């Protein structure tokens, strides 16, 4: 596996944030909304930290900054095999299905 950079992480996280937003708005179940909102919040905290880096730092290897991102990784790993039960729109399902493994790869040290 090749080393992922800060730039790679930002790209995946922006896409994942958008897909989680779509999933949040597309579900009617309050528990699913809570799950998607919690994941978006954890992801946004990591994005906020990454935004503090200078553009020159985007070439460096990505390392999780916020400790809560470990919880996000766990939630994504739990969600992935069970998405069919809570993500109904095919486009959103496919985006999450593609993005979750990429995001989880970023959390591997």
pLDDT tens for residues 68-104? 888 899 999 999 999 999 999 999 999 999 999 999 9
91: tokens are 């486009």
Q: What is the pLDDT of residue 102?
A: 93
User: What 3-state class would DSSP assign to 5?
Assistant: strand
Lowest-pLDDT range, 16-30, 34-48, 49-63?
49-63
pLDDT band for position 27 (cuts 50, 70, 90): very high
The span from the CA of 9 to the CA of 106, in Å, is: 7
* Cβ(13)–Cβ(43) below 8 Å: yes
Higher per-residue pLDDT: 67 or 99: 99
Which residues lie closer than 8 Å to 90 by C-beta, 6 or more apart? none
* Cβ(76)–Cβ(103) below 8 Å: yes
């Amino acid at each position: 596996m090749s080393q992922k950079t800060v730039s790679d992480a930002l790209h995946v996280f922006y896409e994942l944030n958008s897909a989680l937003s779509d999933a949040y708005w597309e579900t009617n179940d309050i528990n699913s909304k809570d799950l998607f909102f919690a994941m978006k919040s954890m992801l946004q905290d990591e994005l906020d930290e990454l935004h503090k880096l200078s553009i020159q730092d985007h070439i460096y290897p990505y390392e999780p900054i916020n400790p809560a991102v470990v919880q996000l990784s766990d939630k994504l790993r739990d969600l992935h095999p069970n998405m069919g039960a809570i993500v109904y729109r095919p486009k959103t399902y496919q985006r999450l299905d593609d993005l979750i493994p990429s995001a989880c790869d970023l959390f591997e040290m």
